[in-house]
Chains A and B, each alone.
Chain A
Amino acid sequence: MFAELLQPSVLIPWFLAMLLGIFVGATPGLTATMAVALIVPISFHMSPMAGLAMIIGVSFTAIFAGDIPATWLRIPGTPASAAATLDGFQMAKKGKGNFALGLDLICSSIGGIIGVATLIFVAPQLARFALKFGSYEYFWLGVLGLSMSAMVTMGQTSKALLAATLGVFISTVGQDVVSNSQRYTFGSIEALGGLHFIPVMIGLFGVAEVLRNIGQSEALGEPTGEADSSSLISVLPEVLRHKWCVVRSALVGTVIGALPGAGADVAAWGSYGIAKSSSKTPEEFGTGTIEGVIAPTSANNAAVAGAWIPALVFGIPGDAVTAIVLGVMLVHGIKPGPMLFEDGGDQVRSIFAIALVTQFMLVPCGWAGVKAFGLIQKLPKRTVLAGVLVFSTVGAFAINNSMFDVYVMLAFGLIGFFMEACGVPVVPMILGLILGPLVERELRAGLIASSGSFEPFFMRPISMALVFLLFLAFFAKPMWKLISRRLFTK
């Protein structure tokens, strides 16, 4: 079977697709979903194996490549990379950009391998577990994620909460799923679809970053940054030193990815929060720590593998990419279901093999992308910023082929610029925007299902566990401090 995979007719399109994934992932606004939708019609003219290899290759590389512009320019290429704008960017600012991305790449690959291994060995069990998540559980998961915004930005909690609340508010624009009414659309048909997450994100990060730099006009002629000479080998000792952080983040990422209602973006934030709250030096997070780089990137690649779990076991797509892949699999005559794992034979094994080999191919492909992107650093700042603005505009337009999204992007560029100027962090706003709809929808759907009773929100086993986790996240540290202080004073 591996021999079949290594034929040039499979290997060449696979490799090209992964390079496409690097480009698409590194360009804000171009998403893995778009790349996969482009590849699908081509894949029908190929062998099923080559088609699946291209699709799997694109989806994993695009998630990693999103971290490249996030680290160099503080502009996440995909929503799942927003966490890399914290520690990755700070590390690059200190002149260790290649080191950060090397770390990022190796951990992405390891995270992916752990995710795929979980998929191979416990997919049916994990999928059954994921089904137990109803509205009540998703609600608490969303609340847990939102509370990360307080944790991510410790020290300025009130401003972070303000930003998160604004994010939740923005997410209410558009047509409401529960009541079918229109909210804050002011009669505009374009606003019916809501303010799309990606143009908002490009505005808050990309455009705001351009505006900030224009303010320092004397620096515009200088090169954008200094690239260090770190190689992939030089990061390995650090990866080894933080191996538990990688494994834990990857497992968290896989489980969150396996939940049909949550994806790689939630996984990245979740593991960042966990890494921070379990770190010995949480106050250093956000200043360029190694753990802060490792945790989100291990998790988001693992989450891509996790999304395949419900897809293969029950035919339920975990995200937009797996939804497309499911369609392709049906066309090729591969029927998803629990039986697929027991007697699926070659088809399933080849999917697994492709997913595994992709993780290893990711390292050279990704490093080529990092190096190519690093060349930009030598250009003068004004050129790079102009390029950022062009790509941001194209990306915002490409999401839905709509000028409305471009205006949204520009407006949020201004909002992001002023927020940072006032010392309000933009990251919690992104969290609010991602999780606001989840929390609101699941709370209301849950209350409809329970005829208005709050009981299932607390009494169901998984709900209870999530509430307990939430409690721990906020009170474990202060309580431990209190107890240890008592012990010391005595």
Chain B
Amino acid sequence: MNKTKSANQPSPSPPCLRASVVKNGFQWTKHSRSFRRFRSSFTLLVCVTILGCQKDPQAAIDSYPSKTVTVVCPWSAGGGTDRCSRFWAERLQTKFENPFVVMNRTGGSGAIGHSAVARAKADGYTMGMVTVELSMMKQMGISDLTFRDYECLMQINADSAAVVVRKDAPWKNLQELFDEIKSSKEKLKMSGTASGGIWDLARVGMLDAAGLDIHSVTWVPSKGSAPALVQLMGEHIDAVVVSVPEAMPQIEAGELRLLAVMDDQRHPDFPDIPTLKEEGCDWSAVGWRGLALPKGTPPEIVAKILVQCEEIAASEEFKEFMGKNGFAVVIRGPEEFTKFLEEQESLWTPVIDLAGYAQK
């Protein structure tokens, strides 16, 4: 009776125990009666142990982490989010003395990776690096996920969007660019992402806040920020909206320059560049990254991970890593992060409506 029970129950027990049950099960049919009796009593013992474990989820919590933890990165290997994921996986691995492995699940504007986290078993063995796209994918009809499908653990980064032009562009500041947009007969061309991508929406929000028609510039869709910057440098388009670290190499090479950053404060690396608010345009857009677990992960496990994450976030190594990559450090704990995500949702929803990408 106990034996059949154990076979039917998917148990969260350690894999070694489960393996031995299967092994015993196989040998059961093959051996003589006396040997069988010995085996069956042994099996019984194993089953009792397993059932004991099952009745006590506390054991699973206490032993966490006892196997490999997967950190899902919704973007491809080598990109900024991937680098952050690998840094955190490596640090968590050292802290917990347990393997943490990055798994890239890309595609569908991040929807595939985000849903891989939300749909995973909520046992603490899958976590993910969620990104700003989570704040808009539902409204865009790409996925039905929102931040409510996650245990939001900690925000680790927020990079301001910026308006970038060529070094020899005729506009000295944002106001001059806006004047040109208003007066120019031929529409100016801008790019940064695909249509409906985050920087397209940031552009829509900026033009709307400046009181301009959102169709007063042409958005030339591109596969991402890197090809858009190429198009800008090749004089095929006039301005680009991307995050500051994305354009950093070209800015440092002296090929491109910033007109304004879309944030509440000035960027620490570019203290001379004004914010949109200073230019009289009430709009800010940031690309953020954060750690999240599937909804329903036991709070004790969440707390365990959070303690370590807080230590890592406070460490010098983390600051050094972010500094070298040009990523801005913005740390928000679980409550603050969730509140921030609510604000993000109410920030982007009207812009998505205005741009005409809203689904139902």
Q: Interface of A with B (CB < 8 Å)? A: 33-34, 36-37, 40-41, 131-135, 174-175, 177-180, 182, 189-190, 192-194, 196, 260-261, 310, 314-317, 320-321, 323-324, 326-327, 330-331, 335-339, 400-402, 441, 444-445, 448-449, 451
User: Inside 8 A of B221's CB, which chain A residues have their CB?
Assistant: 177-178, 441, 444-445, 448
Closest B residue, CB atoms, query A313? B253
- Chain B positions within 8 Å of A336 at CB level: 249, 253
Contact (A33, B78) CB under 8 Å given A190-B112, A314-B253: yes
Asked whether, in the complex, the Cβ of B253 is within 8 Å of the Cβ of A315, the reply is: yes
Taking a contact as CB atoms under 8 Å apart, the answer to whether B220 and A449 are in contact is yes
Decide: B253 and A335 in contact? CB cutoff 8 A: yes
B218/A193 in contact, CB under 8 A: no
A327 with B83: CB separation less than 8 A: yes
User: Assuming A314-B253, A320-B77, is B230 touching A175 (CB within 8 A)?
Assistant: no
Complex formed: what's the CA distance from A265 to B227 in Å?
18
**Assuming the A-B contacts A135-B236, A180-B357, A324-B77, are A193 and B108 also in contact, with contact meaning beta carbons closer than 8 angstroms in the complex?**
yes
Q: B residues bordering A, Cβ < 8 Å?
A: 76-80, 82-83, 86, 90, 103-109, 111-112, 115, 140, 142-143, 187, 189, 194-197, 218-223, 226-227, 229-231, 233-237, 248-250, 252-255, 324-326, 357
Q: List 23 A-B contacts (CB under 8 A).
A: A33-B77, A34-B77, A40-B78, A131-B230, A131-B235, A133-B234, A177-B223, A189-B143, A192-B112, A194-B107, A314-B253, A315-B249, A315-B252, A316-B230, A323-B226, A330-B248, A330-B326, A336-B253, A337-B252, A337-B255, A444-B221, A449-B189, A449-B218
Closest Cβ of chain B: how far from A315's Cβ, in Å? Answer: 3
CB–CB A338/B253 < 8 A: yes
CB of A400 within 8 A of CB of B255, answer no
A315–B250 Cα distance when bound, in Å, is 6
Across the interface, name the chain A residue whose C-beta is closest to B119.
A189
A174/B107 in contact, CB under 8 A: yes
Is the beta-carbon distance between A339 and B107 smaller than 8 angstroms? no
Instruction: Give Cα A441 to B227, complex, Å.
Output: 12
Q: Are B226 and A317 in contact (CB under 8 A)?
A: yes
B252:A400 contact, CB within 8 angstroms: no
CA distance A182 to B112 in the complex (A): 14
Return the contact of A316 from the options B142, B196, B226, B326 (Cβ within 8 A).
B226
Closest to A260 in B: B230
Asked if residues A193 and B78 are in contact (CB atoms below 8 Å), the reply is no
Q: How far is the CA of A178 from the CA of B220 in the complex (A)?
A: 8
Whether B230 pairs with A178 at a CB distance below 8 angstroms is no
Q: Are A178 and B233 in contact (CB under 8 A)?
A: no
Output the least CB separation between A183 and chain B (Å): 12
Residue of B nearest to A325 (CB): B78
A180 contacts B196, C-beta separation under 8 Å: yes
* CB-CB under 8 A for A401 and B76, given A314-B253, A314-B255, A327-B325: no
User: Which 8 pairs, one residue from A and one from B, show the smallest C-beta to C-beta distance?
Assistant: A193-B107, A315-B249, A192-B108, A337-B253, A324-B78, A180-B196, A131-B234, A37-B77
B108 close to A314 (CB less than 8 A): no
* Nearest chain A CB to B339 CB, angstrom units: 28
List 20 other contacts, CB 8 Å, given A33-B78, A400-B104.
Answer: A177-B221, A178-B195, A180-B195, A180-B196, A192-B108, A193-B106, A193-B112, A260-B226, A260-B227, A314-B250, A315-B250, A315-B253, A316-B230, A330-B249, A336-B253, A337-B254, A339-B254, A400-B105, A400-B112, A401-B104
Tell me whether A310 and B230 are in contact (CB under 8 A): yes
A331-B324 in contact (CB<8A) = yes
Q: What is the CB-to-nearest-CB distance from A307 to chain B, in angstroms, rounded to a whole number?
A: 12
Report the Cα distance A115→B351, complex, angstroms: 47
**Bound CA–CA A36/B78 (angstroms):** 8
CB-defined contacts of A324 to chain B, threshold 8 Å: 77-78
**List of A residues within 8 angstroms of B229 by Cβ:** 316
Q: Could you tell me if B106 and A323 are in contact, using CB atoms closer than 8 angstroms?
A: no
Closest residue of chain A to B141 (Cβ to Cβ) is: A182
In the assembled complex, the CB of A447 is this many whole angstroms from the nearest CB of chain B, namely: 10
Contact of B223 among A134, A441, A444 (CB under 8 A): A441
Residues of A within 8 A of B231 (CB): 134-135
Q: Which residues of A contact B233 (CB under 8 A)?
A: 131, 314, 316
Distance in angstroms between the alpha carbons of A134 and B231 in the assembled complex: 6
Q: How far, in angstroms, from A314 to B195 measured CA to CA in the complex? A: 25
Least CB distance, A42 to chain B, in whole angstroms: 11
Alpha-carbon distance between A335 and B252 when the two chains are bound, in angstroms: 8
B154 to chain A, nearest CB (A): 21
CB distance from A346 to the nearest CB of B (A): 19
Nearest residue (CB) in A for B196 is A180
On chain B, the residues within 8 Å of A174 by CB distance are: 107-108
User: Which of B78, B108, B194, B227 interacts with A327 by CB under 8 Å?
Assistant: B78
Select the residue from A40, A331, A335, A400 with max chain B CB neighbours within 10 A. Answer: A400
Residue of B nearest to A127 (CB): B233
Q: How far is the CB of B146 from chain A (nearest CB, A)?
A: 15
- State how many angstroms separate the Cβ of B79 from the closest Cβ of chain A: 7
Partner of B324, one of A133, A196, A330, A441: A330
Give Cα distance in the complex from A359 to B223, angstroms: 32
User: Chain A nearest CB: distance from B75 CB in Å?
Assistant: 11
Q: How far is it, in angstroms, between the C-alpha of A209 and the C-alpha of B97 when the chains are bound?
A: 45
Task: Determine the chain A residues whose CB is within 8 A of the CB of B222 once the complex forms.
Answer: 177, 445
Alpha-carbon gap, A40 to B77, bound state (A)? 11
By the criterion CB–CB under 8 Å, are A331 and B325 in contact? yes
Q: A134-B236, A135-B236, A330-B249 are in contact. Are A261 and B227 (CB under 8 A)?
A: yes
CA distance in complex: A40, B112 (Å) = 25
A351 to chain B minimum Cβ distance, whole angstroms, is: 15
Task: Enumerate chain B residues within 8 angstroms of A135, measured Cβ to Cβ.
Answer: 220, 231, 236
Shortest CB distance A142–B (Å): 14
Q: Are A448 and B252 in contact (CB under 8 A)?
A: no
